[in-house]
């Protein structure tokens, strides 16, 4: 009589390891390419630092006058009308959160004023300006 042959019930994990390594390489390459901020040289100020518990909406005005909006960390390039619409929707949901405005130090007062007017037209009650602290010499 022949003995029944035992079947090996093993899972081949080599393809899973290959896929995992490929995904790891893809993430390592694409992560540094993500643009998580807008290049703005903020003016220096000796104003007191405020602490906000939740992430506010941030409007940035770049050196060439582009308007960026960040709600939750990702910046989005917008025109003035779309910016006002998005801020209006944000203010309806988050009435007590401030909207912060950051502008490049080379931006004219008129462009910063235009950004502030858009924020005001959106219905924001709390507006702040972002600056860098003065560096000691």
Tell me: pLDDT of 47 over 80. Answer: no
Phi, psi (rounded to 5 degrees) for 59: -110, 125
Helices (H), 31-108: 80-93
Q: What is the pLDDT of residue 1?
A: 64
- pLDDT tens digits, residue range 57-82? 899 999 888 999 988 778 889 999 99
Long-range own/partner contacts, residues 107-115 (CB < 8 A, 24 or more apart): 107/61, 107/62, 107/63, 107/65, 111/61, 111/65, 112/61, 114/80, 115/59, 115/61, 115/67
Q: What is the pLDDT of residue 39?
A: 66
Average pLDDT, the chain: 83
> Is 88 part of any domain?
yes
pLDDT band for position 50 (50/70/90)?
Answer: low
Residue 71 sits in which domain range?
A: 44-133
CATH of the domain at 74: 3.30.420.270
pLDDT band for position 42 (50/70/90)?
Answer: low
Tell me: pLDDT of 9 over 80. Answer: no
> Is 96 part of any domain?
yes
Tell me: pLDDT of 109 over 80. Answer: yes
> Is 11 part of any domain?
no
> Is 83 part of any domain?
yes
Q: What is the mean pLDDT of residues 25-39?
A: 73
> Is 4 part of any domain?
no
> Is 65 part of any domain?
yes
Q: What is the mean pLDDT of residues 3-22?
A: 85
Q: What is the mean pLDDT of residues 1-7?
A: 73
pLDDT band for position 94 (50/70/90)?
Answer: confident
Domain tally for the chain?
A: 1
Tell me: pLDDT of 87 over 60. Answer: yes
> Is 15 part of any domain?
no
> Is 124 part of any domain?
yes
Cα–chain-centroid distance for residue 108? 24
């Amino acid at each position: 009589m022949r003995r029944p042959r035992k079947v090996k019930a093993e899972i081949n994990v080599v393809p899973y390891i290959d896929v995992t390594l490929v995904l790891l390489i893809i993430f390592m390459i694409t992560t540094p390419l993500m643009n998580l901020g807008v290049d703005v040289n903020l003016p220096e100020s000796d104003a007191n630092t405020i602490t906000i518990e939740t992430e506010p909406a941030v409007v940035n005005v770049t050196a060439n006058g582009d308007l960026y909006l960040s709600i939750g960390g990702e910046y989005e390039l917008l025109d003035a009308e779309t910016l006002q619409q998005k801020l209006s929707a944000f203010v309806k949901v988050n009435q007590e959160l401030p909207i912060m405005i950051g502008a490049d130090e080379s931006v004219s007062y008129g462009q910063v004023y235009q950004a502030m007017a858009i924020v005001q037209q959106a219905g924001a009650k709390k507006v702040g300006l972002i600056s860098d602290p003065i560096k000691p010499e």
